[in-house]
Amino acid sequence: MKNVVVVGSQWGDEGKGKIVDWLSSEADVVVRFQGGHNAGHTLVIDKKVFKLRLLPSGIVRDGKVSILGNGVVIDPWALLDEIKEIKKQGINVTPDNFMISESASLILPFHQEMDEIREDAAGKGKIGTTRRGIGPCYEDKVGRRSIRIMDLRSEKNLANRLENVLLHHNAIRKGLKKKIFKKDELKKKLLKIAPEILKFAQPVWLKIDEFKKDRKKILFEGAQGILLDVDHGTYPFVTSSNTVPAMAATGSGTGPNEINYVLGITKAYTTRVGSGPFPTELKDKIGETLGKRGNEFGTVTARKRRCGWFDGVLVRQTIKIAGIDGIALTKLDVLDELDEIKVCVGYDLNGKILEYLPAASDEQFNIKPIYKSFPGWKANTQGIRNIVDLPKNAKKYIYSLEDFIGAKICSISTSPERDDTILIEDPFRS
């Protein structure tokens, strides 16, 4: 029995939804451990599209338990809307197959407004947030003033907690000449939805311990990518949580010794949403081709993703930081039509050659990629399910990536469909 953590090895949008859904056929429990409804996962099952934001990808499979851990921040209204949407698609969501940590913090309306206010005021210094209130909610959590799921159980306690958090937020809002929030109005709105949220609330750490004793296979599902990690990403153009695999333990209430395999989802090229450095970005016809063929638009925001060549230096770095055991390579078929394919194998910073991404933001913006070129395969790989059927040049590209980044490529995705996957090594059995 192995427990597997799935994380994105780039800036997110690597195709984690499909891979997690594919792996969840073997898992018994799927746990989201960080982020919020800013992270979208798109699943395509028998040509039916499911767009998930908060719900773990395992929710679409019968007989699986899906969990939102304590490390996730939850907009309760957005969650209920998502549950309603997916029920219309024939997916059942009940307390038997879906649980929320009672310790998870709630995203409230003033969090979203503060997110918007800051982004609008930042001008050219925008981070590129999804304006969902994720960052301000995590700030309140660290500031020990957040409203948590458990606070919805007691009207008196909820009133006290709202008093505390609004003391902070209304002081800022007054200074910005914004309308203040009234405690009683917000309390009334929260109490109205409390029963619908609380029926899913559990001491998740205890439930996970029970699952472990029953030798259930647990799949921990990360959101965003390691390059958006608040400590290890391209700071300050990052998300507000830790996206590395270690967060799976902290964000769910289990020990790091329970993580047996770390799978890094890696796109065969590179994309990024929002602001921030992107050394291999292509602002030309090739970049447009990658975006069009890869349907590179955000699941949550529909924002167009920036596209570029595969950055081997960055992926090699995230593999080391995250302790990734194996790589699931996605969207290989997007490269099918290209005559030449390039891979970044180093950086030039004012004449100095670097083999890693420097931590300073100004240097990240100024580095120039050093490329190695590969011939394209000019053949259709979409839907291929056996590595021997891939074109010769496609296999050369894959093996070269594997050699450079220093991690085994254990699966290759050749379309958004669940079964269009080449399995080389099973994370649950390796």
Q: Catalogue the active-site residues.
A: 13, 41
Q: What pLDDT is recorded for position 122?
A: 67
Q: What pLDDT is recorded for position 127?
A: 66
Q: What pLDDT is recorded for position 48?
A: 82
CB 24 within 8 A of CB 52: no
DSSP H or E segment with residue 45: strand 41-45
Q: What pLDDT is recorded for position 302?
A: 66
Q: What pLDDT is recorded for position 34?
A: 96
Cis-peptide into 236, omega within 30 deg: yes
Q: What pLDDT is recorded for position 126?
A: 66
pLDDT (tens digit per residue) in 217-263: 999 999 899 999 999 999 999 999 999 999 999 999 999 999 999 99
Query: What stretches in the chain show pLDDT beneath 70?
Result: 1, 39, 122-128, 298-302
| DSSP helix/strand/coil, 273 | coil
Q: What pLDDT is recorded for position 160?
A: 97
Under 8 Å CB-to-CB from 392, ≥6 apart: which residues?
A: 377
Helices 183-198 and 155-175 pack at an angle, to 10 degrees, of: 130
